[in-house]
Structure 1
Amino acid sequence: MNTRKILYQYGYRRCLDQDRSSPARHPVVVVGAGPVGLCTAIDLAQRGVPVVLLDDADRIGEGSRGICYAKRTLEILDRLGAADPCLEKGVTWKIGKVFQRNDLLYAFDLLPEDGHKMPAFINLQQYYLEHALVERAAALPNLEIRWRNKVVGLKHRNDGATLTVETPEGRYDLDADWVVAADGARSALRGMLGLPFQGEAFEDRFLIADVKMKGDFPPERWFWFDPPFHEGHSALLHKQPDDVWRIDLQLGRDADAKAEQMPERVIPRLRQMLGHDDFSLEWVSVYTFQCRRLERFVHGRVVFVGDAAHQVSPFGARGANSGIQDAENLAWKLAFVLKGEAPESLIASYDLERSAAADENIGHSTRSTDFIAPRSAQELRFRDATLALARHAPFAKRMVNSGRLSMPSTYDSPLSTPDTDRWSGSAHLGAPLPDAPMRDHSGQPIWLLDAIGGEETILHVQNEAQPPVGSRVLIIGKDLVDEHGFFTQRFDAHPGSTYLVRPDQHLAARWRHAAPSLIEEASRRLRGFGEGHA
């Protein structure tokens, strides 16, 4: 059932490639204009790579789908020029509460400290995010979106791939140096290459409903185990913009998916939960889910991202968030390779790093699902005992798993230069940098991540010695001033400390005192020329 009207519709336009006698060739073709495909295309275009983005639809707005976007995702969207409309429209939150029946077991704060530009999470219907990304894409001169262009054929070549594209005016072929498959959980490209998923499917069914109403619930994540309004199952409540609330209700393995979406079944369930019937249904679906992935994400010159590469349960908001981090990881590497600034083998590090991230997300997602929907009497006894202990014992609260919320991955990667010194603080090798409020050389406030942007950057804490030489060096104490001490604390910074930052803002190397040769070696390493690379 879907009562949501189409919010945004884009017309099909004939392109010049359809009138060519031989296939046009493009550096990158991205297939799928969801959030992950759009982020990939925008990131590449901002790095100077021409991109063609194909999508078989021409509209946005059929159900809210994903709604929770984490701090790291917002930082990526900010770098891509799409965060402001999302922050303006979205519901900001950081508090979660876990209940058993009517009792509050505990609450948690996802961002208890100050000094960050982005909030812990926002809730925003996916169609608003997609619209913000489409608007940003339209502003880039080297990015072309082709709506109602459906890929129906794919052929590998040694130097790329040929796509056959179906349109309302017939088919045409398109050559690409690289193809990014961002065409979702039912990926047609994955099917064309005959690539199976590995992992497991879960049998429990869940009702997901977007309900429009005036409510007194705060903008927090509320999760119930065995609530009195839905006994024996779980429930989840999130606030969205436009007085819309996301409700998830566990139904059990034997639920009839088609019947459970009918208003005569949905409305009584929601009335029992909310205690009134002053609401309307925006969108309803019943789902099961999988925790699985491709064995490899890179197949020749075809690279899989997002749900086309891996799928997780919705508990913890790991789907879209991890997919957008795929896009971030891939884009700078493809740009380096296409510009001749890195070997093609650098793309293998995308597979290494994001496969490990997918395994991490699948592990968290599987454990969450097993706790929320136990599949055996033993798992149920463990879950109930943990919930009983959590009322009184702090250690048991940490064992309650209502969905470990999305966190960015820390890469154990050959692109990183191992530490030779001991470090404290919240900046970790292989992880995205923690943000910090700074002042620039003119005294104006600026955020650290804004100052770094999407370039390889050396951060150096000013001392009496000559600063390091590199393509881009920011000196802490001169170019950027750590007025409130957040940088010093988070980076365990001392005079002479030097940090090498990847173009995706992950920390690649750091030294208490860095010789120029060490910095040069670490820079080559992050581009795929160093130890551990072919």
Structure 2
Amino acid sequence: MTKIFETPLYPYQPSPDQSAAAPVRHPVVVIGAGPVGLAFAIDMAMKDVPVVVLDDNDKVSFGSRAICFAKRSLEILDRLGCGDPMVNKGVVWNLGKVFFKDRKVYDFNLLPEDHHKRPAFINLQQYYCELYLVERARELQSKGKPIEIRGGNRVTGLDRREDHTRVSIDTQDGSYDLDADWLIACDGAASPVRNMMGLDFVGRVFEDNFLIADVIMQADFPTERWFWFDPPFNPGQSALLHKQPDGVWRIDLQLGWDIDKDEEKRPEKVIPRLKQMLGEEVEFSLEWLSIYTFQCRRMEKFRHGHVIFAGDSAHQVSPFGARGANSGFQDADNLAWKLDLVLSGKAPESLLDSYDAERVYAADENILNSSRSTDFITPKSEVSRLFRDAVLDLAETQAFARPLVNSGRLSLPSTYRVSPLNGPDAADLPARLCPGAPVVDAPLDEGWLIDRLGNRFVLLGMNCEVPPALHCDGLAVEGLTLTGPGLNPVLRDRYMGEADRAVYLIRPDQHVAARWTGFDEGAIAGAVAKSIGKEF
């Protein structure tokens, strides 16, 4: 494992741009080779859009960091070509347990229905995720796709112009400039790009800290998410346990607000805490330690002209609920198809304003859920603590109380209910697939629906014949008709409900754009136009 941290994956190499007489102009430049920046760059390269990724580092990140990858992220990664290695390496889990003091209160299943290709979650260290994304980028390069990762390239300045941004870069061979038609900032919570532009977050910083410990040990804990409120080994606080690959366990221990962070990270302080939790007889070693402060904040807007922010550079949430990296993948997924259409001239530049509208909406949803979780986990008054403890006591025997327990509402994709891109709805179709909602997977005779949809516009007809191809506003829309034996009970239930037939227009990011209970070519053409920003 250690070699993953030590080996340069994209070492510095001089670029011809550095010796050019004038700054070379690129269609898309991504700053940050973390999971979100790499996922976005891969998506663009698969669409044959040239993309350059700049990062001052040349290795994967150290420490587990983001470890919980949700079903929706795995579906996105499937489309990018690296879902299988993630799931094959990751620890699959659907079950969680909640403890109060020294007893189990209840457990829950995050994916209670069958017939999905991917599990609710896998646990996998972030460095593996980055490794697989870099390997996928290299594979695309070998096939002639236009993606380049430049390690050891530190961005030091920006000069924003009317239709592009000039980027100043430092390397071991000196400085150079390049021009970007579109600059995508995926440079993390401390975002140098955001700071260079004089922008800031709005939101809350909670007065509490958690210790993260990656512990290598052989233990017989099951593959589940365990969360404790007020456990005997950390009285008055909370704790979280997750299993990762390679015998690594992630342990989070609440520490409180008024602490000396450097002191709390010393192994001499950490090891006794862990022995209290695990038992004196358990042998373990420390791989990585960190302390984080709860933050639920975002930028006021994510698009600033030709500079667009995604992932932690645009928004931050406390880690309960695994909403950080998962929402970042959804940012990249939302932005890539829109920018591709703008660059190809098939959609107006104003389509990118819908990225801001939809992903700010999603960020607010994540921040609300994360804030509520944090308030429940860390009560700020004695009355709040009494209420929380009463809820936990009741939850052990009373099912009605369990939805009130909030140990982190785990990440789900956002439904863009108020998106300017949403088209007509058919009210008698299942509510979970209204316009703006992400599609729901289901089995086909061969394979899975979500794989069949891919990353393009699809017109899906169920018990309703649709043309194999349509051309609307210069866009190719692929038709997929499922009827008779091809329409199994799972598909029927999820997409038709009690209706006799259904037609869905699916966007390239696999969100529903519009739906009907019959085929109407004119209505579909109007919905396609609206979904690409031509009728806001």
TM-score, with normalisation over the residues of structure 1?
0.95
Contact 1:293–1:311 (8 Å) recurs in 2:
yes
Q: Report what 2:7 is aligned to.
A: 8
Contact 1:329–1:504 (8 Å) recurs in 2:
yes
Q: Report what 2:291 is aligned to.
A: 286
2:496 matched to 1:492?
Answer: yes
Q: Report what 2:261 is aligned to.
A: 257
- CA distance in 2 between partners of 1:463 and 1:334 (Å): 32
Counterparts of 1:458-477 in structure 2, within 5 Å, are: 458-463=459-464, 469-470=470-471, 471-477=476-482
Q: Report what 2:452 is aligned to.
A: 451
Counterparts of 1:18-97 in structure 2, within 5 Å, are: 18-97=18-97
1:8 CA drift (Å): 3.4
Q: Report what 1:300 is aligned to.
A: 305
Aligned length: 524
Of the three residues 172, 175, 180, the one matched with 2:176 is: 172
1:467 CA drift (Å): 7.4
Of the three residues 145, 159, 162, the one matched with 2:163 is: 159
Q: Report what 2:225 is aligned to.
A: 221
Q: Report what 1:268 is aligned to.
A: 272
1:185 CA drift (Å): 0.4
Of the three residues 294, 305, 312, the one matched with 2:317 is: 312
Of the three residues 195, 200, 207, the one matched with 1:203 is: 207
Of the three residues 416, 436, 444, the one matched with 1:438 is: 444
Deviations 1:63-118 (A, max 9, x none): 11110000000000000001111111100000000010121111110111111111
Of the three residues 409, 427, 430, the one matched with 1:424 is: 430
RMSD of equivalent CA atoms? 1.8
TM-score, with normalisation over the residues of structure 2?
0.95
Q: Report what 1:442 is aligned to.
A: none
2:361 matched to 1:356?
Answer: yes
Q: Report what 1:106 is aligned to.
A: 106
Of the three residues 485, 507, 511, the one matched with 2:512 is: 507
Contact 2:217–2:284 (8 Å) recurs in 1:
yes
Deviations 1:168-197 (A, max 9, x none): 111111101100000000000000000011
Give the residue type in structure 2 aligned to 1:456. F
Contact 1:305–1:326 (8 Å) recurs in 2:
yes
1:414 CA drift (Å): 1.1
- CA distance in 2 between partners of 1:20 and 1:265 (Å): 54
1:495 CA drift (Å): 5.4
- CA distance in 2 between partners of 1:4 and 1:246 (Å): 20
- CA distance in 2 between partners of 1:116 and 1:394 (Å): 27
Identical pairs, percent: 56
Contact 1:155–1:161 (8 Å) recurs in 2:
yes
- CA distance in 1 between partners of 2:521 and 2:84 (Å): 39
| Runs of 4+ that moved beyond 6 A | 2-5, 464-468
1:364 CA drift (Å): 0.5
Unpaired stretches in structure 1, ≥5 consecutive residues = 440-444
2:387 matched to 1:387?
Answer: no
Give the residue type in structure 1 aligned to 2:255. L
Unpaired stretches in structure 2, ≥5 consecutive residues = none
1:487 CA drift (Å): 1.2
Moved more, 233-242 or 459-468: 459-468
Give the residue type in structure 1 aligned to 2:8. Q
Contact 1:460–1:467 (8 Å) recurs in 2:
no
- CA distance in 2 between partners of 1:302 and 1:465 (Å): 39
Contact 1:101–1:228 (8 Å) recurs in 2:
yes
- CA distance in 2 between partners of 1:92 and 1:359 (Å): 28
CA gap of 1:24–1:481, structure 2 versus 1, over 3 A, is farther
Deviations 1:6-25 (A, max 9, x none): 24313210001001010000
Q: Report what 2:523 is aligned to.
A: 518
Q: Report what 2:193 is aligned to.
A: 189
1:496 CA drift (Å): 4.6
Deviations 1:301-333 (A, max 9, x none): 000000000000000000000011000000000
1:463 CA drift (Å): 4.1
Give the residue type in structure 1 aligned to 2:530. R
Contact 2:457–2:478 (8 Å) recurs in 1:
no
